[in-house]
Homo-oligomer: A and B are copies of this chain.
Amino acid sequence: MRASAESNGGGADDDAAQVMGDGRHARHVTLKDVAELAGVSVSTVSLVMNEKKNARIAVKTQERVNRAIRELHYRPNALAQNLVTGTSKFIGLLTDSIATTPFAGQIIHGAQDRAWKQGYVLLIVNTEGNEDIERQAIRMFLEYKVHGILYSTWYHHEITLPQSLKDMNTVLVNCYSDTENLISVVPDEFNGGRTAAKMLLEQGHRRVAFINTTVESPARTGRLAGYRRALAEQGIAEDPSLIVDAEPTQEGGRAVAEVIRASGATGVCCHNDRVAMGLYDALRNRGIMVPSDISVVGFDDQEVIAAHMLPPLSTVALPHYELGASGVDAVLAPPVHLDDHRVLIACPAVHRESISALD
């Protein structure tokens, strides 16, 4: 390959040649290289490559082209294939900051796995909310003829859709827009909250506190509604003093520890694992032990935290991997008959050691 590359220093390849200057990296072989070696035109090579039977190319010419292809190790070109079909094997993934948000990287993972299995490759752009990058990214996706676009955010909330995505095959992941008719793949917050409360209720707890987030979001309203449903299903009257708001961080959990202690709750649903982690610390400083003195349930099942707390945290998983995978499914084959354009992904219970049974 090197020899042929060196004999072909075309101007268009200056850029490539520069990177490969140390001799280790061979230049990509082009159709033109094959055509020159075979002594035919580029279109002839192209016709032979694409096996157009009706092109009536002499068998000898075909053999010459095929020999040149083998000699030069020319590879079938996905870009050329995409050009011919006018579509591509790309799916664009536009994110605000999920690549930088630890647990939500699983959205990328799920999308990439599923796309790969379907023969597609993800083009990922992380905009950090910068509208300029967003516009450029969308233009790039169009230029690469992506098959569809996943637009994803790191936490579940409403978005304003960029204008240029409106006419595309766009699926929203972990976000939604009530003004658009686009499919949204989102966590089932209601049943997630219900599951968290049930994990405590099923162990005999009747006084169950609920630490909600201060951030307005479907997680805030949906999980609270699910908690209320779970209480109602057990015939337990709601006690407003058991519902408190906190910042969704370790600091938030620590800040409400005293309120939780004073409430007489025997169990508490935390908005997320980080809140549970802060609550653990502040309770321990007060000599209150989990789960013997109080039971705790988290939310998220955040890697490197939930399974490794003392005691390991029982929690409800945010299904990030599944959000990404289902997003790709929706791009490739849009589901029909959806309520409110939503594909709801279940948030499953993860049982560990932070819940004790009450008699």
Contacts of A331 in B (CB 8 A): 19
Judge whether A250 and B308 touch: CB under 8 Å.
yes
Which single member of B16, B25, B87 contacts A85 (CB below 8 Å)?
B16
Closest CB in chain B relative to A308 CB, distance in Å: 4
Cα-based distance from A87 to B87 in the complex (angstroms) = 20
Residues of chain B within 8 A (CB-CB) of A99 are 105-106, 108-109, 112
Residues A19 and B106 in contact in the complex (CB < 8 Å), given A30-B86, A116-B133: no
A22 CB to nearest chain B CB (Å): 6
Does A57 belong to the interface (CB within 8 Å)?
no
- Check A103/B106 contact, CB under 8 A, given A15-B87, A112-B124: no
User: In the complex where A12-B86, A105-B100 touch, is A123 in contact with B125 (Cβ < 8 A)?
Assistant: no
With A123-B121, A250-B308, A309-B250 as known contacts, state yes or no: A144 contacts B79, CB within 8 Å: yes
The interface on chain A, measured as residues whose beta carbon lies within 8 A of the other chain's beta carbons, has a size of: 85
Copies of this chain, complex-wide, total 2
Contact at B143–A126, with CB atoms within 8 Å? no
Residue of A82, A86, A121, A277 contacting most chain B CB atoms (<10 Å): A86
**Nearest opposing residue in chain B for A140, CB measure:** B121
B304 lies within 8 A of A87 (CB)? no
Point out the residues of chain B lying under 8 angstroms from A29, CB to CB. Answer: 86
Produce 1/0 per residue, A282-300, CB < 8 A to B: 1011000000000000000
Q: Which residues of B contact A25 (CB under 8 A)?
A: 148, 167-169
A55 at the interface (CB under 8 A from B): no
Taking CB as reference atom, which chain B residue is nearest A180?
Answer: B24
Is B43's CB under 8 angstroms from A86's CB?
no
